[in-house]
Structure 1
Amino acid sequence: MEAGNKIRSSAHPNSLAPPVCGGASRGTLGRYLARRLVEIGVKDVFSVPGDFNLTLLDHLIAEPELNLIGCCNELNAGYAADGYARSKGVGACVVTFTVGGLSALNAIAGAYSENLPVICIVGGPNSNDYGTNRILHHTIGLPDFSQELRCFQTITCAQAVVNNLDDAHELIDTAISTALKESKPVYISISCNLPGIPHPTFAREPVPFLLAPKVSNQLGLEAAVEATADFLNKAVKPVLVGGPKLRVAKAQEAFVELADASGYPIAVMPSAKGLVPEHHPHFIGTYWGAVSTSFCGEIVESADAYVFVGPIFNDYSSVGYSLLFTKEKAVIVQPNRVTIGNGPSFGWVFMTDFLSALAKKLKRNSTAVENYRRIFIPPGMPLKRGNDEPLRVNVLFKHIQALYFLSIMEAIRLKLRFMMALTMLLRTGITVALLMPSTMVMANAGQPRCGQRKN
């Protein structure tokens, strides 16, 4: 919030655009874009100011329903928009031309791989600079300054270069609607001199943005549900496994509905953590092959039928393609397709429709849940050590836990920054000592320790 307030008070002193106050922003591209972001659910926009986007930022600031949050750099802004999209469904970031856009590439590429609709808005060159063969600052020093666009073409599902007000309305709407329909990031470049210029296409308030819901092929849906129900109702101990594409299909509630109706145990793939409620009475853990949660892998791989909902089987999630399940026993449910074993595949069947309809057709079967509860052994508390006994690892961790917890409390009492204490602890490599029942763990899949050392 403080960063946003700082940007709010730092309008460019030499800006040639008309001031944004009261009704001055009516009928402009800048106001139109601001309203569009609000309409699709964006309340916070993450930005890094630069001379190519200052006028646009002024118009975003003028929108009362938008909060502009300043970031340390463009990569931070991109990742913040990524996280916002995970939480709210869509995110947006605003950066400056080339030097800013190229800095955000890694975050936008990550959003593409994770199927997140992030609107990446870049303040572009003056519309009069296109085709002039001039060399611009913030570029790589060539008269052709399309390098940024070409980079974004490979990691976004749509690109819009707005350097003319006549078609700006169409380009912006097409890009935003494509992001929402495909659940992928898009790139929108807006010439720096255009946001504050009135134009007839923006004279009226924008019509509320609305996408028609996707509807399954009814015949295909009925056939897929019938075939799947017949397949699963013959099984003795079927299981459900949730994958990362549950978020893309917005099918988390339908997944839980199916779990409640069927009585099957539910597991989650590692890249889908957080999409399936772990407090559900049928939840058995993370299915990750040989490194699954204790007893979860045994239940999944011993099942005679498994329903994978929204899975991605890459080298990471499959532990080097070593998962011990057979395709013949699997039902694979993707956002718009259902495949049963090596047999039929049903297209244009959407995940939410399918899961909700299937929940009404399955016979309740809790055999696999009962098997899990029969073999499950809760983690024990660290043992006490006698004076003459050798020191065990779990006893050592118990003492480290108490020691480090007291150290953190002392640091907080002395009003030291908690991150300093956390960094010190992470350097020891014994991060388990920090874990309490109420602890929220935030880490990277790669090298979180190295990342923490940099902060």
Structure 2
Amino acid sequence: MSDTPSDIGPQAAASRITVADYLLRRLRELDVEHLFGVPGDYNLGFLDRVTAFPGLTWVGTCNELDAAYAADGYARLRGAAALVTTFGVGELSAVNGVAGAYAESVPVVAVTGMPATEVAAAGRPVHHTLMDGEYGRFGRMFAEVTVARADLTATNAPAEIDRVLRAMWRERKPVHLNLPTDVVLAQVPASSGPLIVPDAPADPGLVRDFLAGCARMLDGARSVTVLAGHEAERFGLRGPLGDLLAAAPVRSAVFSSGKGVLDETAPGFVGAYTGEISDKRVRAAVEDADCLILVGAPVSDSVTGGFSHHFTPERTIELRPGRAAAGRGVFEGVDMAEAVGGLAGLLRDSGLPAPEGYGELFAYPEVEEEETGEGLRAGLTQRQLWGAVGEFLPAGSVLVAEQGTAFYGAQEVPLPADGRFVGQPLWGSIGYTLPATLGTELAAPDRRSVLVIGDGSLQLTAQELGTMTRYGAAPVVIVVNNDGYTVERAIHGATAPYNDIAAWDYTALPAAFGAGPGTVAVRVETPAELADALALAARTPDELVLIEAVLPREDAPQLLTALAQRFAEQNAYGD
């Protein structure tokens, strides 16, 4: 990150600067180039500064929830993101998306345009309040789903902006800033140094003790497996993990939340681990390893098959943000990247033997299609859909998978070289991925995003197709039309009316939302039609492509079916 005055904003070399420009300069230091949100009369003055600021683009979404989703997707590829709402009605609309970013460790700053300082201090019953003179209530709501927040004033703005943004960067979770209308143009001293300063190194003795504990666990081990989760991705461990896996012939796997953080073409990769419902090869690699190294991989029901994982602390080395554990020994204050580097050194000197099959290119298990009296079904199936998606994905592309059938189908899609993956298995807010794909497209325009989303989920946020075309995003959007909420049907209520949805004409949506004549929108019902549609998508890399894929209502990925059964048991639903 740089703090070069010439490329991060107006008045950069001046001794004083507006609060708005101070905040925007800091966001540019975090590599933020787009701000998402919806205008409201309490943020219009700030938006004037946003639209005038060199290097920044305002992205107006259809609602504030979608702005939060888009910022979340943007931050997963850029490292940070920002959204802007108005007080009360706007910020509360965004809370669900900010909560999802908190659950999934995504660094997003939510900026709320507040009524003027004197108005709030007097408790005047102005619009967008609850008419009771209480102005702190909404901020307290945000305090529950952020790691830091501040009410900015002309006096405290520089210090509070820096404190809050540093907390966001340090903990990789969302933060919140209230910006009153009269504070936007207040003059404050310009920053004199960079926003992000290196953390003080951990106590060398602490790191030494941790690595000594790891060495004891690795001594005599004949098999080691690395299991990575989403925190490894958020904290930038893709490169260090690659070095770790290259240090010795170890097996590697991911939780579904961490898909994409490891190179799936590397020797030793065995797939996604989901507890007892995992493929037997993955279970054996994780559960039978003499030593298991967990990297940024907190457990939850959705990534462990309903808490059906089997590994004990005695044979587990665990790395989490700010702490590490070697067996039962816990070491607070150990940095994950430093710990990964130290472990790579230990493995390099370990003389670990290569496990059986090490070096063979990983391939997801083949599953036979169900046969009918007329042979294989002529219509498109989940298995055929995901096979075609896997073959289509361009190098460096971003596979975005909506929670439900799409997310669990995507777990068995091999990512291409330098590919990325975006999903939300921990928070699981349906509709998240379409606005998130807007974010990934703008964050990394050189990487084409390929979104697979269910018909039910799409109906929550479909209007952002219009925002995509407005800002030149050109993803491939595959709508899985299986007539309703298939994931909910798999859990409970297979024929219940509450799992039904309206029958939309999905291929008509891009034009209805303002897409230009070059946009591709097709409906496919067979493998051949899907292959033709994806070939067309490959020939039109600069156009939004929507493919409506019609699948049977009851068809679902095997992983989802097994997990749905566990969720049904967990929720105490009867037969």
TM-score range (shorter-chain normalised) is: 0.7 to 0.9
Q: Secondary structure at the match of 2:170?
A: helix
Q: Secondary structure at the match of 2:199?
A: coil
Are the aligned partners of 1:35 and 1:206 in contact in 2 as well (CA < 8 Å)?
A: no
CA apart distance, 1:236:
1.5
Aligned match for 2:181, one of 192, 209, 212:
192
CA apart distance, 1:253:
1.6
Cα gap change, 1:417/1:66 in structure 2, threshold over 3 Å: closer, same or farther? Answer: closer
CA apart distance, 1:209:
1.9
Cα distance in 1 for residues equivalent to 2:72 and 2:244: 29
2:356 is the counterpart of 1:356: no
Cα distance in 2 for residues equivalent to 1:264 and 1:66: 44
Any residues of structure 2 matched to 1:100-249 within 5 Å, and which?
100-162=90-152, 164-197=153-186, 199=187, 201-202=188-189, 204=190, 207-249=193-235
Aligned match for 2:262, one of 265, 276, 279:
276
List gaps (5 residues or longer) in structure 2: 1-9, 385-524, 558-562, 565-575
Q: Secondary structure at the match of 2:76?
A: helix
Q: Rg bigger for which structure? A: 1
Higher share of residues assigned strand: 2
Cα distance in 1 for residues equivalent to 2:555 and 2:529: 12
CA apart distance, 1:23:
12
Cα gap change, 1:35/1:21 in structure 2, threshold over 3 Å: closer, same or farther? Answer: closer
Cα distance in 1 for residues equivalent to 2:536 and 2:340: 51
2:352 is the counterpart of 1:370: no
Cα distance in 2 for residues equivalent to 1:344 and 1:205: 42
Any residues of structure 2 matched to 1:415-454 within 5 Å, and which?
418-419=545-546, 421-422=547-548, 425=550
2:311 is the counterpart of 1:345: no
Aligned match for 1:317, one of 303, 315, 324:
303
Are the aligned partners of 1:258 and 1:356 in contact in 2 as well (CA < 8 Å)?
A: yes
Residues 145-197 of structure 1: CA deviation (Å, up to 9, x unaligned):
222111111111111112x3122222222211221122221110111122124
Any residues of structure 2 matched to 1:74-113 within 5 Å, and which?
74-113=64-103
Are the aligned partners of 1:44 and 1:67 in contact in 2 as well (CA < 8 Å)?
A: yes
Residues 28-49 of structure 1: CA deviation (Å, up to 9, x unaligned):
1122111111122211111211
Residues 42-88 of structure 1: CA deviation (Å, up to 9, x unaligned):
11111211110011011111110211111111011111111111111
Cα distance in 1 for residues equivalent to 2:196 and 2:128: 37
CA apart distance, 1:289:
1.3
Identity %: 30
Cα distance in 2 for residues equivalent to 1:247 and 1:48: 29
Structure 2 counterpart of 1:355, one-letter code: V
Cα gap change, 1:31/1:369 in structure 2, threshold over 3 Å: closer, same or farther? Answer: farther
Structure 2 counterpart of 1:87, one-letter code: L
Q: Secondary structure at the match of 2:197?
A: coil
Are the aligned partners of 2:36 and 2:67 in contact in 1 as well (CA < 8 Å)?
A: yes
Any residues of structure 2 matched to 1:15-94 within 5 Å, and which?
27-94=17-84
Any residues of structure 2 matched to 1:296-335 within 5 Å, and which?
296-335=282-321
Tell me which moved more, 401-410 or 168-177. Answer: 401-410
Cα distance in 1 for residues equivalent to 2:191 and 2:288: 59
Are the aligned partners of 1:425 and 1:431 in contact in 2 as well (CA < 8 Å)?
A: no
2:378 is the counterpart of 1:391: no
Are the aligned partners of 1:412 and 1:418 in contact in 2 as well (CA < 8 Å)?
A: no
Are the aligned partners of 1:282 and 1:369 in contact in 2 as well (CA < 8 Å)?
A: no
Cα gap change, 1:295/1:50 in structure 2, threshold over 3 Å: closer, same or farther? Answer: same
Q: Secondary structure at the match of 1:51?
A: coil
Are the aligned partners of 1:248 and 1:335 in contact in 2 as well (CA < 8 Å)?
A: no
Cα distance in 2 for residues equivalent to 1:165 and 1:188: 13
Cα distance in 1 for residues equivalent to 2:246 and 2:92: 46
List gaps (5 residues or longer) in structure 1: 1-19, 433-444, 447-455
Cα distance in 1 for residues equivalent to 2:346 and 2:288: 24
Cα distance in 2 for residues equivalent to 1:334 and 1:407: 43
Alignment RMSD, CA only?
3.5
Q: Secondary structure at the match of 1:339?
A: strand
TM-score normalised by the chain length of structure 2: 0.63
Structure 2 counterpart of 1:27, one-letter code: I
Cα distance in 1 for residues equivalent to 2:220 and 2:42: 63
